[in-house]
Amino acid sequence: MLAGPIPRETDATCDDCVMTANDGDAETNRIFFNPQTKCCTYVPALPNYLVGRILADDDPNFASGRATVEERLNNGIALTPLGLGQPPGFQALYGHSSESLFGRSAALRCPHYVSAGGGRCGIWQYRASICATWHCKFVRGAVGSQFWQTLNQLLSAVELCLSRWCVLELNVGAEALSAIIPTPRNAVQKIDPKILDGTLDKASQRKLWGNWAEHEGEFYRECDRLVAQLTWKDILTISGPDVKILARLVQETYAKLMSNHVPECLRVGPLQIISMGYERSWIVAHSSFDPLDVPSRLLDVLRYFNGRPTTDVVKAISAEHGIKLHPSLIRKLTDFEVLVDAKKG
Protein backbone atom coordinates (compact mmCIF):
# COMPACT_ATOMS: atom_id res chain seq x y z
CA MET A 1 0.00 0.00 0.00
CA LEU A 2 2.85 2.39 0.81
CA ALA A 3 5.74 3.50 -1.36
CA GLY A 4 8.33 2.11 1.05
CA PRO A 5 8.99 0.92 4.61
CA ILE A 6 7.75 2.83 7.65
CA PRO A 7 10.61 4.49 9.57
CA ARG A 8 11.02 3.19 13.10
CA GLU A 9 9.98 5.49 15.93
CA THR A 10 13.28 5.32 17.80
CA ASP A 11 12.25 7.89 20.43
CA ALA A 12 9.54 5.56 21.79
CA THR A 13 11.56 2.92 23.63
CA CYS A 14 9.27 0.16 24.87
CA ASP A 15 12.13 -2.01 26.14
CA ASP A 16 13.55 0.85 28.25
CA CYS A 17 10.58 3.14 28.80
CA VAL A 18 11.46 6.77 28.13
CA MET A 19 8.27 7.85 29.94
CA THR A 20 9.47 6.73 33.38
CA ALA A 21 11.24 9.34 35.49
CA ASN A 22 14.93 9.40 36.32
CA ASP A 23 16.58 11.34 39.14
CA GLY A 24 15.94 15.05 38.70
CA ASP A 25 13.32 14.64 35.98
CA ALA A 26 10.46 15.67 38.27
CA GLU A 27 11.80 19.23 38.28
CA THR A 28 10.95 19.62 34.58
CA ASN A 29 7.16 19.32 35.12
CA ARG A 30 6.96 16.67 32.42
CA ILE A 31 4.41 13.85 32.44
CA PHE A 32 5.75 10.45 33.51
CA PHE A 33 4.26 6.96 33.65
CA ASN A 34 4.12 4.48 36.49
CA PRO A 35 7.14 2.16 36.01
CA GLN A 36 4.90 -0.78 37.01
CA THR A 37 2.55 -0.12 34.10
CA LYS A 38 4.32 2.08 31.54
CA CYS A 39 1.76 2.80 28.81
CA CYS A 40 0.07 -0.59 29.28
CA THR A 41 -2.97 0.82 31.10
CA TYR A 42 -5.36 -0.06 28.32
CA VAL A 43 -7.27 -3.28 27.65
CA PRO A 44 -7.26 -3.88 23.90
CA ALA A 45 -10.18 -5.36 22.03
CA LEU A 46 -8.73 -8.31 20.10
CA PRO A 47 -10.49 -9.24 16.83
CA ASN A 48 -11.53 -12.88 16.52
CA TYR A 49 -8.85 -13.85 13.99
CA LEU A 50 -6.04 -12.49 16.19
CA VAL A 51 -7.39 -14.46 19.13
CA GLY A 52 -7.32 -17.54 16.92
CA ARG A 53 -3.76 -16.86 15.86
CA ILE A 54 -2.67 -16.50 19.48
CA LEU A 55 -4.35 -19.77 20.45
CA ALA A 56 -2.71 -21.55 17.51
CA ASP A 57 0.81 -20.43 18.43
CA ASP A 58 2.23 -23.33 20.44
CA ASP A 59 5.76 -21.91 20.71
CA PRO A 60 6.93 -22.63 24.29
CA ASN A 61 8.48 -19.16 24.42
CA PHE A 62 5.01 -17.69 23.85
CA ALA A 63 3.34 -19.75 26.59
CA SER A 64 3.04 -16.92 29.13
CA GLY A 65 1.48 -14.57 26.58
CA ARG A 66 -0.94 -17.20 25.29
CA ALA A 67 -1.96 -17.95 28.88
CA THR A 68 -3.14 -14.36 29.35
CA VAL A 69 -5.56 -14.76 26.43
CA GLU A 70 -6.72 -18.18 27.59
CA GLU A 71 -7.51 -16.67 30.98
CA ARG A 72 -9.72 -14.04 29.34
CA LEU A 73 -11.46 -16.79 27.38
CA ASN A 74 -12.04 -18.84 30.51
CA ASN A 75 -13.63 -16.01 32.47
CA GLY A 76 -15.90 -15.28 29.50
CA ILE A 77 -16.28 -11.52 30.12
CA ALA A 78 -16.73 -9.53 26.88
CA LEU A 79 -16.26 -12.76 24.91
CA THR A 80 -18.17 -12.61 21.60
CA PRO A 81 -17.81 -14.04 18.09
CA LEU A 82 -16.28 -10.69 17.09
CA GLY A 83 -13.41 -11.29 19.49
CA LEU A 84 -12.32 -10.33 22.99
CA GLY A 85 -13.91 -7.00 23.90
CA GLN A 86 -13.16 -4.59 26.70
CA PRO A 87 -14.50 -5.51 30.16
CA PRO A 88 -17.29 -3.15 31.28
CA GLY A 89 -15.39 -2.17 34.42
CA PHE A 90 -12.47 -0.96 32.33
CA GLN A 91 -14.79 0.89 29.94
CA ALA A 92 -16.43 2.75 32.81
CA LEU A 93 -13.16 3.84 34.43
CA TYR A 94 -11.21 4.59 31.29
CA GLY A 95 -14.10 6.36 29.60
CA HIS A 96 -14.52 8.65 32.59
CA SER A 97 -10.90 9.50 33.44
CA SER A 98 -8.58 8.29 30.68
CA GLU A 99 -6.47 11.45 30.75
CA SER A 100 -5.60 11.18 34.44
CA LEU A 101 -5.38 7.37 34.61
CA PHE A 102 -3.50 6.48 31.43
CA GLY A 103 0.03 5.35 32.16
CA ARG A 104 -0.45 5.80 35.90
CA SER A 105 -3.08 3.47 37.35
CA ALA A 106 -2.00 -0.08 38.14
CA ALA A 107 -5.70 -0.99 38.42
CA LEU A 108 -6.03 -0.48 34.67
CA ARG A 109 -2.94 -2.47 33.71
CA CYS A 110 -3.47 -4.60 30.63
CA PRO A 111 -4.16 -8.30 31.33
CA HIS A 112 -1.55 -9.18 28.69
CA TYR A 113 1.21 -7.31 30.52
CA VAL A 114 3.97 -9.70 31.59
CA SER A 115 6.05 -8.38 34.49
CA ALA A 116 9.09 -10.55 33.78
CA GLY A 117 12.04 -8.83 32.15
CA GLY A 118 11.09 -5.36 33.34
CA GLY A 119 7.58 -5.50 31.92
CA ARG A 120 6.58 -6.38 28.37
CA CYS A 121 3.59 -7.14 26.18
CA GLY A 122 2.81 -10.85 26.29
CA ILE A 123 1.08 -10.79 22.88
CA TRP A 124 3.37 -8.27 21.16
CA GLN A 125 3.55 -10.04 17.78
CA TYR A 126 -0.25 -10.31 17.67
CA ARG A 127 -1.18 -6.98 19.26
CA ALA A 128 -4.21 -5.13 17.93
CA SER A 129 -3.97 -2.01 15.79
CA ILE A 130 -4.39 0.48 18.62
CA CYS A 131 -1.33 -0.93 20.39
CA ALA A 132 0.66 -1.44 17.20
CA THR A 133 0.25 2.20 16.17
CA TRP A 134 0.50 4.00 19.54
CA HIS A 135 3.73 5.79 20.45
CA CYS A 136 4.43 8.19 23.29
CA LYS A 137 7.02 10.13 21.28
CA PHE A 138 7.66 10.63 17.59
CA VAL A 139 10.88 11.28 15.71
CA ARG A 140 9.01 13.81 13.55
CA GLY A 141 6.61 15.09 16.20
CA ALA A 142 3.15 16.01 14.92
CA VAL A 143 3.98 14.74 11.42
CA GLY A 144 4.66 11.28 12.80
CA SER A 145 1.68 11.45 15.13
CA GLN A 146 -0.68 12.25 12.26
CA PHE A 147 0.63 9.31 10.23
CA TRP A 148 0.24 6.78 13.06
CA GLN A 149 -3.20 8.08 14.04
CA THR A 150 -4.41 7.74 10.47
CA LEU A 151 -2.88 4.28 10.20
CA ASN A 152 -4.68 3.31 13.41
CA GLN A 153 -7.98 4.46 11.91
CA LEU A 154 -7.33 2.32 8.84
CA LEU A 155 -6.27 -0.81 10.70
CA SER A 156 -9.09 -0.48 13.24
CA ALA A 157 -11.59 -0.29 10.39
CA VAL A 158 -10.00 -3.34 8.79
CA GLU A 159 -10.14 -5.27 12.08
CA LEU A 160 -13.85 -4.52 12.46
CA CYS A 161 -14.66 -5.44 8.86
CA LEU A 162 -12.67 -8.68 8.93
CA SER A 163 -14.05 -9.79 12.28
CA ARG A 164 -17.61 -9.25 10.99
CA TRP A 165 -16.75 -11.00 7.73
CA CYS A 166 -15.53 -14.02 9.71
CA VAL A 167 -18.78 -14.10 11.70
CA LEU A 168 -20.76 -14.09 8.46
CA GLU A 169 -18.57 -16.71 6.75
CA LEU A 170 -18.73 -19.09 9.70
CA ASN A 171 -22.52 -18.90 10.05
CA VAL A 172 -23.12 -18.15 13.71
CA GLY A 173 -26.87 -17.98 13.01
CA ALA A 174 -29.40 -15.17 12.55
CA GLU A 175 -30.20 -14.77 16.25
CA ALA A 176 -26.52 -14.45 17.12
CA LEU A 177 -25.96 -11.95 14.29
CA SER A 178 -28.79 -9.82 15.66
CA ALA A 179 -27.16 -9.80 19.09
CA ILE A 180 -23.68 -9.03 17.76
CA ILE A 181 -24.23 -6.28 15.21
CA PRO A 182 -25.39 -2.93 16.63
CA THR A 183 -28.88 -1.80 15.61
CA PRO A 184 -30.90 1.27 16.68
CA ARG A 185 -32.46 -0.99 19.32
CA ASN A 186 -29.23 -2.24 20.91
CA ALA A 187 -26.64 0.35 19.83
CA VAL A 188 -26.55 1.98 23.28
CA GLN A 189 -26.24 -0.61 26.02
CA LYS A 190 -26.10 -0.16 29.77
CA ILE A 191 -23.54 -2.07 31.80
CA ASP A 192 -24.97 -5.33 33.06
CA PRO A 193 -24.35 -5.49 36.83
CA LYS A 194 -23.84 -9.27 36.69
CA ILE A 195 -21.17 -8.98 34.00
CA LEU A 196 -19.53 -6.15 35.93
CA ASP A 197 -19.33 -8.52 38.91
CA GLY A 198 -17.86 -11.27 36.73
CA THR A 199 -21.02 -13.40 36.60
CA LEU A 200 -22.13 -14.73 33.21
CA ASP A 201 -25.64 -15.53 32.07
CA LYS A 202 -25.12 -18.87 30.31
CA ALA A 203 -28.36 -18.59 28.37
CA SER A 204 -27.37 -15.19 26.99
CA GLN A 205 -23.93 -16.51 26.09
CA ARG A 206 -25.41 -19.43 24.15
CA LYS A 207 -27.67 -17.02 22.30
CA LEU A 208 -24.73 -14.76 21.52
CA TRP A 209 -22.65 -17.61 20.10
CA GLY A 210 -25.45 -19.31 18.20
CA ASN A 211 -24.24 -22.30 16.18
CA TRP A 212 -20.80 -22.08 17.80
CA ALA A 213 -21.90 -22.08 21.44
CA GLU A 214 -19.39 -23.91 23.68
CA HIS A 215 -16.90 -24.05 20.76
CA GLU A 216 -15.44 -20.58 21.13
CA GLY A 217 -11.78 -21.55 20.82
CA GLU A 218 -12.45 -23.58 17.69
CA PHE A 219 -14.39 -20.66 16.22
CA TYR A 220 -11.49 -18.25 16.77
CA ARG A 221 -9.03 -20.66 15.15
CA GLU A 222 -11.31 -20.88 12.12
CA CYS A 223 -11.34 -17.09 11.92
CA ASP A 224 -7.54 -17.12 11.86
CA ARG A 225 -7.57 -19.71 9.07
CA LEU A 226 -9.92 -17.57 6.95
CA VAL A 227 -8.03 -14.30 7.38
CA ALA A 228 -4.57 -15.87 6.90
CA GLN A 229 -5.49 -16.62 3.28
CA LEU A 230 -6.38 -13.03 2.39
CA THR A 231 -4.30 -10.61 0.34
CA TRP A 232 -4.49 -6.84 0.75
CA LYS A 233 -6.57 -6.73 -2.43
CA ASP A 234 -9.01 -9.22 -0.87
CA ILE A 235 -9.24 -7.09 2.26
CA LEU A 236 -10.05 -3.96 0.26
CA THR A 237 -12.82 -5.87 -1.52
CA ILE A 238 -14.28 -7.22 1.72
CA SER A 239 -14.03 -3.92 3.60
CA GLY A 240 -15.63 -1.60 1.07
CA PRO A 241 -15.20 2.15 0.35
CA ASP A 242 -14.55 3.34 3.92
CA VAL A 243 -11.31 1.38 4.14
CA LYS A 244 -10.29 2.52 0.65
CA ILE A 245 -10.74 6.14 1.74
CA LEU A 246 -8.67 5.59 4.89
CA ALA A 247 -5.98 3.81 2.85
CA ARG A 248 -5.74 6.89 0.61
CA LEU A 249 -5.38 9.13 3.67
CA VAL A 250 -2.63 6.90 5.06
CA GLN A 251 -0.77 7.21 1.76
CA GLU A 252 -0.99 11.00 1.99
CA THR A 253 0.24 11.17 5.59
CA TYR A 254 3.03 8.73 4.70
CA ALA A 255 4.15 11.05 1.90
CA LYS A 256 4.35 13.91 4.43
CA LEU A 257 6.26 11.68 6.84
CA MET A 258 8.87 10.99 4.18
CA SER A 259 9.06 14.59 2.93
CA ASN A 260 11.56 17.21 4.08
CA HIS A 261 9.40 20.12 2.91
CA VAL A 262 9.29 23.20 5.15
CA PRO A 263 6.84 26.05 4.46
CA GLU A 264 8.45 29.25 3.16
CA CYS A 265 6.80 31.48 5.76
CA LEU A 266 6.42 30.47 9.40
CA ARG A 267 4.87 31.79 12.58
CA VAL A 268 4.96 30.58 16.19
CA GLY A 269 2.22 28.08 17.01
CA PRO A 270 0.53 27.59 20.41
CA LEU A 271 3.08 26.28 22.91
CA GLN A 272 3.60 25.92 26.63
CA ILE A 273 6.85 26.44 28.50
CA ILE A 274 6.82 23.77 31.20
CA SER A 275 10.32 24.39 32.52
CA MET A 276 12.79 27.21 31.93
CA GLY A 277 16.44 27.24 32.88
CA TYR A 278 19.37 29.50 32.10
CA GLU A 279 20.68 27.19 29.38
CA ARG A 280 17.90 24.67 28.60
CA SER A 281 14.12 24.76 28.64
CA TRP A 282 11.28 22.29 28.07
CA ILE A 283 8.37 23.25 25.83
CA VAL A 284 5.19 21.46 24.75
CA ALA A 285 3.45 22.05 21.44
CA HIS A 286 1.81 19.07 19.70
CA SER A 287 1.58 16.62 22.65
CA SER A 288 2.09 16.75 26.42
CA PHE A 289 3.75 13.30 26.14
CA ASP A 290 6.27 14.61 23.61
CA PRO A 291 7.93 17.81 24.91
CA LEU A 292 11.05 19.34 23.39
CA ASP A 293 14.28 20.13 25.21
CA VAL A 294 15.57 23.34 23.58
CA PRO A 295 18.26 25.96 24.26
CA SER A 296 16.72 28.81 26.26
CA ARG A 297 18.31 31.26 23.83
CA LEU A 298 16.10 29.81 21.10
CA LEU A 299 12.95 30.91 22.92
CA ASP A 300 14.16 34.51 22.80
CA VAL A 301 14.25 34.56 19.00
CA LEU A 302 11.11 32.58 18.13
CA ARG A 303 9.21 35.90 17.94
CA TYR A 304 11.11 36.67 14.74
CA PHE A 305 9.00 34.04 13.00
CA ASN A 306 6.03 36.30 12.30
CA GLY A 307 5.04 35.29 8.80
CA ARG A 308 8.02 36.74 6.97
CA PRO A 309 10.02 34.50 4.62
CA THR A 310 12.10 32.11 6.71
CA THR A 311 15.30 33.09 4.87
CA ASP A 312 14.83 36.69 6.02
CA VAL A 313 14.12 35.56 9.60
CA VAL A 314 17.27 33.42 9.74
CA LYS A 315 19.40 36.33 8.49
CA ALA A 316 17.91 38.75 11.02
CA ILE A 317 18.47 36.37 13.96
CA SER A 318 22.06 35.77 12.89
CA ALA A 319 22.80 39.49 12.45
CA GLU A 320 21.13 40.69 15.67
CA HIS A 321 21.84 37.79 18.05
CA GLY A 322 24.73 35.87 16.51
CA ILE A 323 22.60 32.71 16.47
CA LYS A 324 22.69 30.56 13.35
CA LEU A 325 19.63 28.35 12.92
CA HIS A 326 20.39 25.17 11.00
CA PRO A 327 17.73 24.05 8.48
CA SER A 328 17.36 20.73 10.34
CA LEU A 329 16.44 22.60 13.54
CA ILE A 330 13.82 24.68 11.72
CA ARG A 331 12.35 21.52 10.23
CA LYS A 332 12.19 19.91 13.66
CA LEU A 333 10.42 22.96 15.07
CA THR A 334 7.85 22.69 12.29
CA ASP A 335 7.53 18.93 12.78
CA PHE A 336 6.64 19.55 16.44
CA GLU A 337 4.35 22.49 15.56
CA VAL A 338 6.43 25.01 17.49
CA LEU A 339 6.51 26.77 14.12
CA VAL A 340 3.56 26.48 11.76
CA ASP A 341 2.76 27.50 8.20
CA ALA A 342 1.92 31.21 8.31
CA LYS A 343 -0.32 30.86 5.25
CA LYS A 344 -2.64 28.43 7.03
CA GLY A 345 -5.08 29.70 9.62
Distance CA 304, CA 180 (A): 58
Distance CA 121, CA 110 (A): 9
Domain CATH number, residue 304:
3.90.930
Nearest to 53 by CA among 230, 168, 220, 235: 220
Helix (H) or strand (E) holding 43: none
Q: Is residue 43 part of a domain?
A: yes
Helix (H) or strand (E) holding 306: strand 306-309
Distance CA 130, CA 108 (A): 16
Tens digit of pLDDT for each residue in 247-288? 999 999 999 999 999 999 999 999 999 999 999 999 999 999
Asked which of 205, 229, 257 is the last residue of a domain, the reply is 257
Residue 187 and residue 96 share a domain: yes
Residue 283 and residue 240 share a domain: no
Tens digit of pLDDT for each residue in 160-205? 999 999 999 999 999 999 888 866 555 556 666 666 666 677 888 8
Residue 271 and residue 242 share a domain: no
Helix (H) or strand (E) holding 166: helix 141-169
For 169, other C-beta atoms within 10 Å of its C-beta total 13
- Domain holding 308, by residue range, is 265-341
Tens digit of pLDDT for each residue in 75-127? 988 999 999 999 888 888 887 788 888 988 888 899 999 988 788 999 999 99
Asked which of 235, 257, 279 is the last residue of a domain, the reply is 257
What's residue 154's pLDDT? Answer: 98
Residue 204 and residue 81 share a domain: yes
Domain count, the chain: 2
Asked which of 217, 234, 257 is the last residue of a domain, the reply is 257
Tens digit of pLDDT for each residue in 50-71? 999 999 999 999 999 999 999 9
Q: Is residue 7 part of a domain?
A: no
Nearest to 43 by CA among 4, 94, 80, 1: 94
Tell me the whole-structure pTM to 2 decimals: 0.91
Average the pLDDT over 335-339 and give the result.
97
